[in-house]
Amino acid sequence: MILLIVAVVVVGGGGAGWFVLRKPGLPPGFAGANGRLEAKQVDIATKYQGRIKDVLADEGDNVDAGQVVAKMDTEPLEAQLRSDEAKIKEAQDNRRTALAEVAAKQAELNYSDKQYKRSRELVVRGAVSEQEADVDRSHMEVNRAALLGAQAQAVRTQSSIDAATADAERIKAEIEDSVLKSPIRGRVQNRLAEPGEVLPAGGKVLALVDLSDVYMYVFLPEAVAGSVALGSEGRIVLDAATEYPIKAVVSFVSPSAQFTPKTVETAEERHNLTFRVKLQIDKDRLRQFEPFVKVGIPGMGYVRLDGNAEWPETLQVKQVPEQLWNTTGRTASN
């Protein structure tokens, strides 16, 4: 009798617990499957080879777009820049000298040209011989050639200035690129390098999770996937926050079927062939859930197949309290 009573209590308690804790079924017009939260990853890497001077963000830190997250050692580049600036100054001095030479040669040519014209007039009058006029013409031609040479030298000095300036601008660009900035608002997922390390061009320093591009893939059976349209409304319910469904939208439906991944577990029997459906979370809505965005966190994804169907009470979007969660990482400082 005692064993019978214990058995009845155990069975009754188990049934009551299952009835209380079981998830409510979906009404007609909806489909759901489990999945994991995913986000686009952005790697911050060096453009040129060099030594890391400082890394200003740690794993878990939130960073804004344009925020400085790491710096490379730029002392060799700064020394080269000073050398290029000295070359520019020298070339500018040479150009001023060349321009002064051009002005002098131009004055000599003007004088010799006038002298030759006067000699021609005097030859007509018989006051000067033809030979003297030819000498004056020769002087004029020599001065003309000297002027052309001075002008060519002035052009070469300008080319030297342009070349040194271009080299200096290239060095400045490299120095600017040595300050690594976050291209997005995100969270540091991995810190891949430390100060003092020498990285090649393209060496990765930080890996960020894009907090504006978060989504979940769910795998729906063939019979259901055919009713899912792009732009359909959906819901994402994270296991750690089941009371706050997140509004989402269907942004992708796979055009071909595939075998269900082993990591997917459905409430019903697993289907061999399923279609992958992407539920994208609205960027504005993401702001409320930023502290809770973690790649790989499990949850459920739901899709509305019938646009006229009313979402059940458990999947209605609710107002999220401002202090629902503490942030998972500090904000990195510049």
Convert the pLDDT of each residue in 17-59 to its tens digit.
433 333 446 888 899 888 888 888 999 999 999 999 999 999 9
Which token pair is 234? 């959906």
- Indicate if 238 and 292 belong to the same structural domain: yes
Q: What is the pLDDT of residue 226?
A: 81
- Indicate if 245 and 214 belong to the same structural domain: yes
Largest CA distance in the chain: 157
Q: Is the pLDDT of residue 95 over 60?
A: yes
Residue 304 sits at φ, ψ, to 5 deg, of -90, 115
Examine residue 327 and state whether it is found in any structural domain, yes or no: no
Neighbours of 263 (CB within 10 A): 11
Domain boundary among 177, 204, 234: 177
List, for residues 165-174, the tens digit of each pLDDT value. 999 999 999 9
- Indicate if 142 and 92 belong to the same structural domain: yes
| CATH code, 239 | 2.40.30.170
- Indicate if 276 and 300 belong to the same structural domain: yes
Q: What is the number of domains present in the chain?
A: 2
Side chain identity at 329, as an amino acid letter?
G
Examine residue 317 and state whether it is found in any structural domain, yes or no: no
Question: How far is it, in rounded angstroms, from Cα 108 to Cα 262?
Answer: 92
3-class secondary structure, 92 = helix
- Indicate if 133 and 273 belong to the same structural domain: no
Q: What is the pLDDT of residue 325?
A: 47
Question: How far is it, in rounded angstroms, from Cα 44 to Cα 67?
Answer: 12
Examine residue 197 and state whether it is found in any structural domain, yes or no: yes
Question: How far is it, in rounded angstroms, from Cα 111 to Cα 96?
Answer: 23
Question: How far is it, in rounded angstroms, from Cα 112 to Cα 118?
Answer: 10
Burial of 52 per CB tally in 10 Å (0-12, 13-18, 19+): buried
- Indicate if 301 and 194 belong to the same structural domain: yes
List, for residues 110-126, the tens digit of each pLDDT value. 888 888 888 887 877 77
- Strand pairing partners for 170? none
Examine residue 86 and state whether it is found in any structural domain, yes or no: yes
Examine residue 247 and state whether it is found in any structural domain, yes or no: yes
Which token pair is 81? 């820049």
Question: How far is it, in rounded angstroms, from Cα 90 to Cα 163?
Answer: 12
Examine residue 253 and state whether it is found in any structural domain, yes or no: yes
Contact 39, 150 (CB under 8 A): no
Residue 167 sits at φ, ψ, to 5 deg, of -65, -40
Q: Is the pLDDT of residue 223 over 60?
A: yes
Tell me the residue range of the domain where 287 lies: 26-61+189-311
Contact 186, 41 (CB under 8 A): no
- Indicate if 202 and 240 belong to the same structural domain: yes
* Average pLDDT, integer, range 78-106: 92
Q: What is the pLDDT of residue 58?
A: 93
Residue 43 sits at φ, ψ, to 5 deg, of -95, 130
Q: What is the DSSP letter of 269?
A: P
Least confident of 48-62, 116-130, 255-269, 283-297: 255-269
- Indicate if 298 and 202 belong to the same structural domain: yes
Domain boundary among 151, 177, 203: 177
Q: Is the pLDDT of residue 327 over 80?
A: no
Instruction: Identify the residue with better confidence: 293 or 309.
Output: 309
Q: What is the pLDDT of residue 113?
A: 86
* Average pLDDT, integer, range 189-199: 93
3-class secondary structure, 127 = coil
Q: Is the pLDDT of residue 284 over 70?
A: yes
Burial of 18 per CB tally in 10 Å (0-12, 13-18, 19+): exposed
- Indicate if 257 and 300 belong to the same structural domain: yes
Q: What is the pLDDT of residue 331?
A: 47
Supply the angle between the helices 130-177 and 75-125 in degrees, to the nearest 10: 170
Which token pair is 47? 């453009």
Beta strands in 222-297 (DSSP E): 233-238, 246-253, 258-259, 273-281
Closest of 70, 328, 330 to residue 207, by C-alpha: 70
* Average pLDDT, integer, range 124-130: 75
* Average pLDDT, integer, range 139-162: 90
Query: pLDDT averaged over the chain?
Result: 82
One DSSP character per residue, 275-293 reads EEEEEEEPHHHHHHHGGG-
Question: How far is it, in rounded angstroms, from Cα 286 to Cα 184?
Answer: 14
In this prediction, residue 267 has a pLDDT band, given cuts at 50, 70 and 90, of very low
Distances in whole angstroms, Cα of residue 276 to Cα of each of 33, 38, 123, 227, 315 = 11, 14, 102, 13, 21
- Indicate if 145 and 239 belong to the same structural domain: no
Domain boundary among 177, 201, 218: 177
Examine residue 233 and state whether it is found in any structural domain, yes or no: yes
Examine residue 70 and state whether it is found in any structural domain, yes or no: no
- Indicate if 87 and 129 belong to the same structural domain: yes
- Indicate if 216 and 305 belong to the same structural domain: yes
Q: Is the pLDDT of residue 323 over 90?
A: no
